[in-house]
Structure 1
Amino acid sequence: MDLKQLKYFLTIAEEGQITSAAKRLHIAQPPLSQQLKNLENELGIELIKRGSRHIELTDAGKILRDRASQILNLSDSTVNEILDLKKGFSGTLKIGTVSSSGTILLNSRMNEFVLKYPDVKFELYEGNTFKVLDLLDEGIIEIGIVRTPFNNSSYNCIYAEKEPMIAIMNKKYDWKESKNVVSIKELKNKPLILYRRFEQLIKDCCIKENFEPNIFCKNDDARTTILWANAGFGIGILPKSAYNLASNNNLIYKEIQNTKLTTQISAIYKKNRYLSTVAQNFINEFSLD
């Protein structure tokens, strides 16, 4: 018994005539009658009682009619689901993200993707950039959302726009209330709170200005930088788009005027590795912005 036989039998049951069923199926009547006989022989039971004008289903025929309808519907649904998966309309997308990417993803790219592909589900893995790279290398995730700088030699990368770093502080550290920008030199001797990810970059910029930064606290999460700065422990340095990741009610921010102190969000995936259609659709949406 195969799906074609079930389709033929269900059509006969629905039409009530083999002749009408043959016309609907666009086949000749004798082959259809033979298919029905083969099905009855295989099951070892009569499925219909033949009349001069109409057929009548036996009890076994009624059971098969109901089950055939369910099986064929399930088959159609399965095919559609697989086609949707192939087209990237459904499935589960595993993404690794850094904490400071949150506002960019939720405000634009992810929102557009979810609206376009409502049947796609997500598994998110969070960590710093190096953790996300490890997850990608191990094949646990398909796509990483990370921040520059990182070694990109093993990855295909789609970059968002560049953004400046900012200095965040409460009023007691605001030495120039009228200015909304600062130079890196103005941070000399100030207690700095920074995300360890950017430590070397910040140090290099400070050394170029002939001073060593006074690092009060380094951490592994942009949210920690915001919370410590909000508590008044020092001046935090972080990407501008990360400013709203945590409570900042006591804070103001000033853009740091330094062409080296910029960063970008990047969607990355491994070179020479299969990428699911769902993941490819996400990459396509990301690259539109």
Structure 2
Amino acid sequence: MDEKDWNAIRVLYEENNISRAAERLYISQPALTYRLKNLEKEFETSLYFKIKGGIEFTSEGVHLADYAADMLNKLQKTKDYMLNMQDEVKGTLRIGVSSNFAQYKLPKMLKDFSSNYPNVQFNVNTGWSNEIMNLLDSSSVQLGILRGNYDWYGVKTLLHKERLFLISKKEVDMTNLFNLPFINYNTDSSLKNLINEWWHDRFPEPPFVTMETDRQETCKQMVKNDLGIAILPEICLQPSDNLYTYGLSYKNGDPVLRNTWLMYNKDSLQLSTVNNFIKFLDNGSTI
């Protein structure tokens, strides 16, 4: 097996469909099938079987897919360290970033870093914080920027604190929110728990939910059209939104804050790309 074989097995395992895997690999379906048949001959076993709409891996195939992912990970680490042995700061910085942070903060951050280190490339994965946590655990990324509180065995540094805000099109009475239409949105469990914790601290009854949206930006557009109220992190709000905003506090007066963390494995500091990016953040990068 070589790198192309490892990648073919990994992509096929992720897609569970030969035609979609071939598209991702930029090869023809017959070429991928031929490569897979050769692997089955080499290991003298079946790696998968066809089902309606795709394929299913055999237990031997799952084992080989795990092996392929492990080998690709080791190869990437080797490439990273080989580049690091050169004096020039170059290579690929692999980052996993929470979606909101990626949308509102990351582009400028990477642009500023690129101005200082133009030979560094970026491989960025975005998603909910629990998904970024999984990427960190599997060493698929070197750095993770996550929102909310997660346990991590490596280095965990607080990047940013932000307040949660209630938003509305019209002025509202904060003591009477449970009678107003409330708009929900899909988000990670840490933010949901924070919102629910504040609500239960202030009100004896649940919010009057009238709408469920797929994401925060959709939710904000609904509020702009006076279809209800919502609770969003400060990072999502802009002066141009022209909305009433109310910073949330618990009954004891403490503000409701959400933390953004930088997480990485200490061994990654041996890489000049990672080390310089962390120094860049420590030296006052705008967050």
1:256 corresponds, among 248, 254, 270, to 248
Change (3 A) 1:186 1:120: farther
Q: Provide TM-score, normalisation by structure 2.
A: 0.58
Which amino acid in structure 1 is aligned with residue 97 of structure 2?
A: T
User: Does the Cα contact within 8 Å between 2:269 and 2:275 map onto a contact in 1?
Assistant: no
The 10-residue stretch of structure 1 (187-196 or 131-140) with the greater mean CA deviation from structure 2: 187-196
Equivalent residue number for residue 105 of structure 1:
106
1:193 corresponds, among 183, 190, 208, to 183
Equivalent residue number for residue 117 of structure 2:
117
Equivalent residue number for residue 235 of structure 1:
229
Which amino acid in structure 2 is aligned with residue 151 of structure 1?
A: Y
Q: What is the alpha-carbon distance in structure 2 between the residues aligned to residue 237 and residue 137 of structure 1?
A: 31
1:207-230 per-residue CA deviation (whole Å, 9 max, x = no partner) reads 122332333445564323323323
1:111 offset after TM fit, Å? 3.7
Q: What is the alpha-carbon distance in structure 1 between the residues aligned to residue 257 and residue 182 of structure 2?
A: 17
5+ long unaligned stretches in structure 2: 1-81
1:59-90 per-residue CA deviation (whole Å, 9 max, x = no partner) reads xxxxxxxxxxxxxxxxxxxxxxx677655721
Within a 5 Å distance, the mapping from 1:165-244 to structure 2 comes to 165-171=164-170, 174-175=171-172, 185-195=175-185, 196-197=187-188, 198-209=191-202, 210-218=204-212, 221-244=215-238
Q: Provide TM-score, normalisation by structure 1.
A: 0.57
Equivalent residue number for residue 286 of structure 1:
281
1:109-145 per-residue CA deviation (whole Å, 9 max, x = no partner) reads 4343222111111121111111111111122211111
Which has the larger Rg? 1
1:147 offset after TM fit, Å? 0.7
Counterpart of 1:162 in 2: which secondary structure?
A: strand
Equivalent residue number for residue 266 of structure 1:
261
Within a 5 Å distance, the mapping from 1:27-176 to structure 2 comes to 86=86, 89-101=89-101, 102-107=103-108, 109-148=109-148, 150-171=149-170, 174-175=171-172
Equivalent residue number for residue 276 of structure 1:
271
Change (3 A) 1:140 1:264: same
5+ long unaligned stretches in structure 1: 1-81, 177-182
Change (3 A) 1:202 1:154: same
User: Does the Cα contact within 8 Å between 1:99 and 1:222 map onto a contact in 2?
Assistant: no
Q: For the aligned residues, what is the CA RMSD?
A: 3.1
Q: What is the alpha-carbon distance in structure 2 between the residues aligned to residue 273 and residue 262 of structure 1?
A: 29
How many pairs are equivalent? 196
Change (3 A) 1:202 1:140: same
Identical-residue share of aligned pairs (%):
24
